[in-house]
Chains A and B, each alone.
Chain A
Amino acid sequence: MKKTVIKIENLKKYFKVYKKEPGLIGSIKSLWKRKYETVKAVDDISFEITQGEIVGFIGQNGAGKTTTLKMLSGLLYPTAGKIDVLGFRPWDRKPAFQKQFSLVMGQKNQLWWDLPAIESFYLNKAIYEIPDKEFDITLEKLATILDVKDILQIQVRKLSLGQRMKCEIIAALLHSPKVLFLDEPTIGLDVVMQKILRDFIKIYNKEFGATIILTSHYMGDVKELCERVIIIDKGSKIFDGKLDDIINKYARNKILSFTLGNGTSENDLKEYGEIKSFENQRATLIVPRIQATQIASKILNKFKIIDLNIEEASIEAVIREIFGDKNNKQEK
């Protein structure tokens, strides 16, 4: 049985935020009386992650993903609940703990802006007390995999976003952390660079047996890297399981794609489901999941069908549906 590396129990983080009334009058009023509101950034979340897992943390903006990662790395004190990462309480910020994990935030720069990345690496070497030989081997390995050997001597501010991100990742991994928190590591990168980083994360996970939590708005990242996902919405966990199980649990529709013989019009198909596309006798219909087989059978009986496929909805569509439903409910 694999060792539990991260354990969270009933974790809560509430922030008190000031709500200002609009306009100058509101500003004047706020000088002596302010209205505060409690925002539940994370509300009663529990989960466990075992060694070597890559877990995708999915949620809309403001769902509480980054707040959770910040609590896991000891940057924020929780309002309530328990956290155990590698046997440590993160907010104690013990060096023995800090030497075993890394937090990479795609939107934050950790390197010295005016100096070449290699200088930041040397500083990290001194801070993390990495032995010379280990440092050389790790740097050589990471720089080779990420193909950045040629740019290590160039000032960080002169590098492209992709090059900077690669260097950020190297800086975060020089001390070979056992736990890695990746907060939108591919944000703003082009598709080629996204792919390179994903491949790298896979390699790192395999070679170092690292436990990784990944947040990303790109479903490509999650699909390619994570077997398990945790979906968080407005601070609460709404799903924790295998990526494929999201479809079983939440998908309400299936997709029927078929090619019709001549003489069938788009109008003839309306009664069977929502027509997603109809072009050159090739039709795609969205049908209720539980009736998919029956509808397919009806279509086969009624029309001349050349080929027919029944597909699950894409994971992106299902997740869009989950959050779309929640947003609609709230609007109502």
Chain B
Amino acid sequence: MKKYWNLFWHFRKIQLMKMMEYRSDFFFWMIVSLMWTAFNYFFYSLIIGNSKNIAGWSYDEVMILLSFFTMIDAFTWSVFYPNMIDYTESIYDGTLSKLLLLPISNVFVILNQNTTYHNIPRFFIGLIVLITTVAKMNINVDVFQILLATLLFLTSIIFIYSGWFILATLAFWVEKLKNINEIMPGFRNVYQMPVSIYTGITSIAVTFIFPLGLVTTLPSEVILGRSNSFNIIYFILFTFIFASLTLHFFNYSIKKYSSVGN
């Protein structure tokens, strides 16, 4: 475990050094990321300003949900995206070979070796908006709520990463699947809204069949003190089983790896 902890930070250090080699690239994308975040908050202010609430969620409540979305989105672009892009490309160009030869968990390296840092400020913006909105709403949040919201936030991260990983792993089975890494970012719109906005079959689909709608709703509800225990347990169990299936699928698919000729 200590080895993996050390390696986790070693990868972060290497990526930080890489980033410093290309400073202008870093600053450019950081500005883009900040502008995108500001636009996102502004966009929602406009919508709620006109309609007063979204699916029963007030302006401040939506800001809390949007904060969780912003923090998850920071992970999406900082960790998931660069790693999954590298992963699928490495299957097609054969560079996955060097990784498969290493005496450590292949999945650990695939999911961890890359990081981009320009979205990190975005994470902190989300966190600051969350804290200031909670203070503004004058609601009491106890330690248990904070811990449970953190657990659900991490569960959401695992849920999204598992979904992405399973899709990217299809690259072993198909000769060319170039845009596979655009599917999960496309789903972000689903959890950018409270799950209560969805009705009928769509609601069942995003709550139970593939609970994308719970990703930001659940931690937000915990902070707001109106959590749904069934949904929380269901989401955690679903994610646990989903992540296990993803690992099995990877271990099965790796047998299809053909590398490339010299």
> Which A residues have a C-beta under 8 Å from some C-beta of B?
15, 18, 61-62, 66, 70, 73-77, 93, 95-99, 102-103, 105, 107-108, 110, 112, 114-115, 119, 122-123, 126-129, 155, 183-184
Name the B residues within 8 Å of A103 (CB-CB).
97, 101
Instruction: Check if B18 sits within 8 Å of A112, measured CB to CB.
Output: yes
CB of A304 to closest CB in B, whole Å? 54
Instruction: Check if A75 sits within 8 Å of B97, measured CB to CB.
Output: yes
- Known contacts A119-B14, A123-B14; A129 and B101 CB within 8 A of each other: no
B258 within 8 A of A: yes
Instruction: Check if A127 sits within 8 Å of B103, measured CB to CB.
Output: yes
Instruction: Check if B14 sits within 8 Å of A112, measured CB to CB.
Output: yes
Which of B95, B103, B175 sits near A98, CB closer than 8 Å? B103
Name the A residues within 8 Å of B103 (CB-CB).
95-99, 127-128
Instruction: Check if B262 sits within 8 Å of A107, measured CB to CB.
Output: yes
Name the B residues within 8 Å of A183 (CB-CB).
262
CB of A74 to closest CB in B, whole Å? 7
Instruction: Check if B98 sits within 8 Å of A115, measured CB to CB.
Output: no
Which of A18, A75, A93, A115 sits near B259, CB closer than 8 Å? A75
New A-B pairs, 5, CB < 8 Å, besides A95-B104, A127-B104: A18-B175, A70-B97, A95-B103, A96-B103, A123-B14
CA distance A184 to B101 in the complex (A): 18
Nearest 9 CB-CB pairings of A with B: A95-B103, A98-B103, A110-B98, A99-B103, A114-B18, A66-B262, A77-B255, A75-B97, A126-B10
18 A-B pairs (CB sep. < 8 Å): A66-B261, A66-B262, A75-B97, A75-B100, A76-B257, A76-B258, A96-B103, A98-B102, A102-B101, A103-B101, A105-B262, A110-B98, A112-B14, A114-B21, A123-B10, A123-B14, A127-B104, A184-B262
CB of B230 to closest CB in A, whole Å? 41
CA distance A115 to B10 in the complex (A): 13
CA distance A110 to B98 in the complex (A): 6
**B13 and chain A: residue at smallest CB distance:** A119
Name the A residues within 8 Å of B255 (CB-CB).
77
CB of A331 to closest CB in B, whole Å? 22
CA distance A66 to B14 in the complex (A): 31
Identify which of A61, A97, A127 gathers the most chain B CB atoms within 10 Å of its CB: A127
B7 within 8 A of A: yes
CA distance A70 to B258 in the complex (A): 10
Interface size on B, residues (CB 8 A): 26
Name the B residues within 8 Å of A75 (CB-CB).
97, 100-101, 257, 259
**A175 and chain B: residue at smallest CB distance:** B103
CA distance A163 to B17 in the complex (A): 22
CA distance A129 to B257 in the complex (A): 27
B3 within 8 A of A: yes
CB of B13 to closest CB in A, whole Å? 9
B24 within 8 A of A: no
B6 within 8 A of A: yes
**B97 and chain A: residue at smallest CB distance:** A75
Chain B positions 242 through 262: 1 when the CB is less than 8 Å from some CB of chain A, otherwise 0:
000000000000010111011
Name the B residues within 8 Å of A105 (CB-CB).
97, 262
Name the A residues within 8 Å of B102 (CB-CB).
98, 127
- Known contacts A75-B101, A98-B101, A119-B17; A126 and B6 CB within 8 A of each other: yes
CA distance A153 to B3 in the complex (A): 25
Chain B positions 92 through 109: 1 when the CB is less than 8 Å from some CB of chain A, otherwise 0:
001101101111101000
CA distance A65 to B195 in the complex (A): 56
CA distance A115 to B19 in the complex (A): 10
Name the B residues within 8 Å of A122 (CB-CB).
10
Instruction: Check if B259 sits within 8 Å of A76, measured CB to CB.
Output: yes
**A61 and chain B: residue at smallest CB distance:** B262
Instruction: Check if B262 sits within 8 Å of A126, measured CB to CB.
Output: no
CA distance A93 to B255 in the complex (A): 12
Name the A residues within 8 Å of B6 (CB-CB).
126
**B17 and chain A: residue at smallest CB distance:** A115
Identify which of B103, B104, B255, B262 gathers the most chain A CB atoms within 10 Å of its CB: B262
Name the A residues within 8 Å of B262 (CB-CB).
61, 66, 105, 107, 183-184
Name the B residues within 8 Å of A99 (CB-CB).
103
CA distance A99 to B106 in the complex (A): 14
**B6 and chain A: residue at smallest CB distance:** A126
CA distance A228 to B257 in the complex (A): 31
Instruction: Check if B101 sits within 8 Å of A74, measured CB to CB.
Output: yes
| Interface set, chain B 4-54, CB cutoff 8 A to A | 6-7, 10, 14, 17-18, 21-22
Name the A residues within 8 Å of B22 (CB-CB).
114
CB of B113 to closest CB in A, whole Å? 10
Which of A97, A108, A155 sits near B98, CB closer than 8 Å? A108
Identify which of A97, A102, A108 gathers the most chain B CB atoms within 10 Å of its CB: A108
Instruction: Check if B100 sits within 8 Å of A126, measured CB to CB.
Output: no
CB of B8 to closest CB in A, whole Å? 10
CA distance A266 to B10 in the complex (A): 72
CA distance A122 to B97 in the complex (A): 20
Name the A residues within 8 Å of B14 (CB-CB).
112, 115, 119, 123
CB of B110 to closest CB in A, whole Å? 14
Name the B residues within 8 Å of A107 (CB-CB).
262
